[in-house]
A and B are shown apart, each in its own frame.
Chain A
Amino acid sequence: AQKVTQAQTEISVVEKEDVTLDCVYETRDTTYYLFWYKQPPSGELVFLIRRNSFDEQNEISGRYSWNFQKSTSSFNFTITASQVVDSAVYFCALRDGGSNYKLTFGKGTLLTVNP
Chain B
Amino acid sequence: GAGVSQSPRYKVAKRGQDVALRCDPISGHVSLFWYQQALGQGPEFLTYFQNEAQLDKSGLPSDRFFAERPEGSVSTLKIQRTQQEDSAVYLCASSLVRLFYTDTQYFGPGTRLTVL
Alpha-carbon distance between A93 and B59 when the two chains are bound, in angstroms:
17
Q: Which residues of A contact B (CB under 8 A)?
A: 4, 31, 33, 35, 37, 42-47, 50, 91, 93, 97-99, 101-108
Given contacts A43-B89, A102-B48, contact A37 B107 (CB under 8 A): yes
Interface size grouping (class) on chain B: 20 to 34
Given contacts A44-B108, A101-B31, contact A33 B101 (CB under 8 A): yes
Q: How many A-B residue pairs have CB under 8 A?
A: 58
Alpha-carbon distance between A33 and B105 when the two chains are bound, in angstroms:
12
Decide: A44 and B110 in contact? CB cutoff 8 A. yes
B17 at the interface (CB under 8 A from A): no
Decide: A101 and B100 in contact? CB cutoff 8 A. yes
Alpha-carbon distance between A31 and B100 when the two chains are bound, in angstroms:
13
B residues near A108, Cβ cutoff 8 Å = 40-42
Decide: B107 and A99 in contact? CB cutoff 8 A. no
Among B3, B48, B91, the residue within 8 A (CB) of A101 is: B48
Among B40, B44, B100, B110, the residue within 8 A (CB) of A99 is: B100
Given contacts A33-B101, A99-B100, A101-B31, contact A43 B45 (CB under 8 A): no
